[in-house]
Amino acid sequence: MSKRFLPYVINLGLLVAAVILSLAIGSVFIAPADLWEILRNWLTHRPLPAGLETYSFIISDIRLPRTVLVLLTGAALGGSGTAYQGLFRNPLADPYLIGVASGAGLGAVLAMSIRWPYSFWGLLAVPMSAFAAAMLTVLLVYIMARVGQTVPTTNLILSGVAFSAFATALTSYLIISSQGEVRRALGWLMGGASQSSWQTVLAILPYLVIGLGVLLMNGHALNLLQFGDDQAQQLGLPVMRTKTVLLLAASLATAAAVSFSGIIGFIGLIVPHVMRLWWGADYRRLLPLSIMAGGGFLILADILARSVMRPQELPVGIVTALAGAPFFLWVLRKSKNQGYW
Amino acid sequence: MEIRALKIEALTVFYGKRCALQDISLEIQRGQVMALIGPNGAGKSTLIRAASGVLPIQSGKIRTNGDEFTSLAPMQRARCLAVVPQAVALPPAFTAWETVLMGRTPYLNFLGQTSDADEAIVRHALNRADALDFADRRVGELSGGEQQRVLLARALAQATPILLLDEPTAHLDMQYQVALMHTICQLAHEDHLAVMIAMHDLNLAARYADSVALLVQGRLEAVGNPNEVLTPERISSAYHLPVQVVQHPFQKAPLILPGE
């Protein structure tokens, strides 16, 4: 019994450690003892001792919402990356590499160029438009890459790259041709949580609950799909319906992550891989573990992005790409001789 | 309702414009092994895929008793009929145990949770297919013959009255071929399953099957007991090869020898 829960305990421990680090590290360092003190006073509604009020404000209004947004973004990318890998039966599928993230980015910018200021409708229209564009991209990439019943790695990545380039070019054109906050959009596109607030956290939450919730219920279906459509159906799975639902849910999670945190690559590649290496291939376990690990991993990347060039911030997408691209090449070499996938 | 047989009635299947199966009518009774033979590309695999409901059917019907099989939901179909596919390109990272557990899919809730009863059935199925020894190993590490036994166990875990097998003996050594055919005959004769098995080896079919169906270019040339179907004329014209058929010296079965 304890062996069954060990992966969850370890992943949760890593996630909590990442959150604590993220709250502690920044322009001023807040020692874990002070963090504990603040947390205890929040919970018991006692007035804070002198000297801790500023820290308390930094945590509640700046670092905590940012950490939570980064956690949710990483969770969305980890979960949808796992789902795409399972759906395409391909170890190199990742929301970024197959072009879905760029497609969602295009959709988001399209909505922003119409209504850039963050009004209520802006908060709703941006993710919706990103979602529609993400779905369109993933369908086109899939259709272009498919050979009979399979999606070969090279085809998938190549058509993903092509669509990604096309969407990125259109996005750049939209940003340059529209007046207004171009700089902000550029920073956002490269992936950064610099616009985090409790409002964005609340706005992203419903999409993630739906998207990741649906994915979590389909772990067993993803297991069956690894045997191919024929066998999955012969084992009792309504294949077409399940695949459609999974594609919708994964794209919704990706679109939400992109809408609020920009385009962050390689999380959906690295995280499921490491989890599969550590804890095995069963998607019923792999999905929740990748969601947890995705959150933790992106928090760590965000800490790096904040501290490397202090007081300036790097977009976190740069950090994940610097770590992810070499990892991608390693997996590419490894997947030639099959290994554990 | 108790299922008595799988009935295929006037089945026609197209791949694009090419007619892959034309007007096939067959009945597989419970308690019997039917061997499906024919040269490469005759439509053996197509017939199994169509009968299991994964191929769209141009015309004709597939029935279990009176039910029209193709109109059932995949989950209901998977409780009536299990397929043992060829062991190629299996996901290597699952263990044999995990793979066989997926045979319980049609009986699980929407989260795919398995119970102790499911595990007992899986253990029994693994034992039956002689695969219990390597239950905890990853499928990618197993030999072709071992993988094939895992797939048989998975189909048995589905606990269906109908079992279709697509050339399970194709890449096996002789001793495994015979062992597998023994198991399959037991499943039909003792456990009362309706079994259809596509195979290459005519002598294996002649020796173990209760009836033989000969497919040539998508048509059913002949169906009946092995002695009736496996005549030199039929086989020569189906395989474009002169053959001789003699009586097996020790068994009550025809023996097919290629050559004049």
Q: Where do the domains of chain A lie, and which CATH numbers do they carry?
A: 2-336 (1.10.3470.10)
Q: What is the ipTM of this complex?
A: 0.92
Q: Helices A153-177 and A100-114 meet at what angle, rounded to 10?
A: 20
Q: Note the pTM of the prediction, 2 decimals.
A: 0.89
Q: Are strands B194-198 and B162-166 parallel, antiparallel or unpaired?
A: parallel
| pLDDT at res. B1 | 53
What SS3 state is found at A314? coil
Dump pLDDT digits (tens) for B136-184. Answer: 999 999 998 899 999 999 999 999 999 999 999 887 888 889 999 999 9
Residues in chain B closer than 8 A to A237 (CB atoms):
74-75, 105
* Six token digits for residue B225: 């007991």
Q: Say whether pLDDT at B31 is over 90.
A: yes
Topology of the domain comprising B5-90+162-258: Rossmann fold (3.40.50)
Dump pLDDT digits (tens) for B56-82. Answer: 888 999 988 777 888 889 999 999 999
| Measured CA distances, A259 to A18, A62, A101 (Å) | 23, 20, 10
Which of A232-236, B108-112, B195-199 is predicted with the least confidence, judged by mean pLDDT? Answer: B108-112
Report the chain A residue with the minimal C-alpha distance to residue B53: A234
| pLDDT at res. A64 | 92
Residues in chain A closer than 8 A to B79 (CB atoms):
236
Counting one residue from chain A and one from chain B, the pairs whose CB atoms sit within 8 A come to: 78
| pLDDT tens-digit profile, chain A (341 residues) | 467 889 999 999 999 999 999 999 988 888 888 888 888 888 887 777 777 888 888 888 889 999 999 999 999 999 999 999 999 888 888 898 889 999 999 998 888 777 555 556 666 777 888 899 999 999 999 888 887 766 777 788 889 989 999 998 998 888 887 766 555 666 667 665 556 788 888 888 999 999 999 999 999 999 999 999 899 999 999 998 999 899 999 999 999 998 888 888 899 999 999 999 888 889 999 999 999 999 999 999 999 998 888 878 888 888 998 988 898 888 878 766 544 44
| pLDDT at res. A190 | 65
| pLDDT at res. B146 | 92
Report the chain B residue with the minimal C-alpha distance to residue A233: B74
Residue A99 carries which DSSP code?
A: T
Nearest to B2 by CA among B25, B24, B31: B31
Alpha-carbon distance of B14 to B55, in angstroms, equals: 9
Alpha-carbon distance of B71 to B73, in angstroms, equals: 7
Sketch the domain layout of chain B as residue ranges.
Answer: 5-90+162-258
One-letter-per-residue 3-state SS of chain B: CCCCEEEEEEEEEEECCEEEEEEEEEEEECCCEEEEECCCCCCHHHHHHHHHCCCCCCEEEEEECCEEHHHCCHHHHHHHEEEECCCCCCCCCCEHHHHHHHHHHHHCCCCCCCCHHHHHHHHHHHHHCCCHHHCCCEHHHCCHHHHHHHHHHHHHHCCCCEEEEECCCCCCCHHHHHHHHHHHHHHHHCCCCEEEEECCCHHHHHHHCCEEEEEECCEEEEEECHHHHCCHHHHHHHHCCCEEEEECCCCCCEEEEECC
Residues in chain A closer than 8 A to B106 (CB atoms):
235-236
Contact state of B105 with A233 under an 8 Å Cβ cutoff: no
